[in-house]
Amino acid sequence: MGVRDFLLSLCFLLFLPLHGSAVPVPRWLLGEQTDGSGLGAKAAGSSVAFDPTRVTQLSWNPRAFIYQGFLSDDECDHLIKLARDKLEKSMVADNKSGKSMLSEVRTSSGMFLQKAQDEVVSTIEARIAAWTFLPEENGESIQVLRYENGEKYDPHYDYFIDKVNQELGGHRVATVLMYLSNVERGGETVFPNSEATMSQPKGDDLSDCAKEGYAVKPKKGDALLFFSLRPDTTPDRASLHGSCPVIEGEKWSATKWIHVRSFDKPFTSVAVRECRDENRNCASWAKAGECERNPLYMVGSKDGYGFCRKSCGACSS
């Protein structure tokens, strides 16, 4: 059992209902009251649950989905307000050392929010977890980015080549890219290696950069989810993507990178350890069958402990 099993347990994401589908959806995914506090349960007074009827599959290679209206206008404006006076030049990770460095391949400005920085940020993070079926603790802090005229990010992969960045959380398995503003022209997200490239019409509304692959035009409130690893845990080279130069206007976006393991806690090797749960929701998750569906996270493997061992009966206290 390993990371491969964890990713295979996510394969049901491929069967999310597409836009307009009448496929039945579990009540807890829609935020309706359930007996327990399941993985996607909606907290009182918040809008954590996601609406699968707004999700459309864009591509299978890479696996990419667009969620229309994932954020409200107020949420978009709030994230921009939090970031506007704290922006610094964006950096990239060196492929050998893993260290962050300035590069001409990425010319935007950005900053990282704190996890659960306020109620709005916390609600967005919970909504991302509900949509992706990936635990909040596996995600990095949200990075807010601004692209001004001519600024871009050349095609790149979100999974890591260096070993240093894999030590905390392992590979990035998925990315949620939220568009916080409309862009008059340019600024598209482009996938040069996507299988859907040739099937997409290349009209005058797309920039020349966007015509080099499958392109997603920024629309305020929409969110793009794509996976950097295949279900067998191997890097997906079709996930190559970039941000086209802004030609007119200004582009604001927010990115949540999600790892195969917890990004908040070090992955410890198996040894004698207290039998306990690491998350208050473990009992309800176990009752819902997550011990069997998501064994790596819930129970663990020979390489490290899971987070719900007590509720799954994997140890004795």
CATH, residue 148: 2.60.120.620
Token output for 182: 């409309």
Residue 1 lies inside a defined structural domain of this protein: no
- What is the domain extent for residue 280? 269-317
The count of structural domains within the chain is: 2
| 158 and 300 co-located in one domain | no
Please say whether the beta carbons of 187 and 147 come within 8 A: yes
Residue 185 per-residue DSSP state:
E
244, 246, 248, 252 alpha-carbon torsion, rounded to 10°: 110
| 78 and 213 co-located in one domain | yes
**pLDDT tens-digit series, residues 60-72:** 999 999 999 999 9
Residue 3 lies inside a defined structural domain of this protein: no
Question: Which of 209, 241, 259 lies at the terminal end of a domain, its last residue?
Answer: 259
How far is 241 from 156, CA to CA, in rounded Å? 6
Average pLDDT over residues 120-131: 96
Element (H, E) at 186: strand 185-186
Confidence of residue 85 (pLDDT cuts 50, 70, 90): very high
| 211 and 174 co-located in one domain | yes
| 205 and 314 co-located in one domain | no
| 287 and 165 co-located in one domain | no
Query: Which pTM does this prediction carry?
Result: 0.71
Burial class (CB in 10 A: 0-12, 13-18, 19+), 227: buried
Residue 2 lies inside a defined structural domain of this protein: no
| 302 and 243 co-located in one domain | no
Residue 80 lies inside a defined structural domain of this protein: yes
Residues with Cβ within 8 Å of residue 271, at least 6 apart in sequence: none
| 247 and 275 co-located in one domain | no
How far is 296 from 8, CA to CA, in rounded Å? 11
Question: Which of 240, 259, 278 lies at the terminal end of a domain, its last residue?
Answer: 259
| 131 and 230 co-located in one domain | yes
Residues with Cβ within 8 Å of residue 66, at least 6 apart in sequence: 55, 56, 58, 216, 222, 223, 224, 225
**pLDDT tens-digit series, residues 172-202:** 999 999 999 999 999 999 999 999 999 999 9
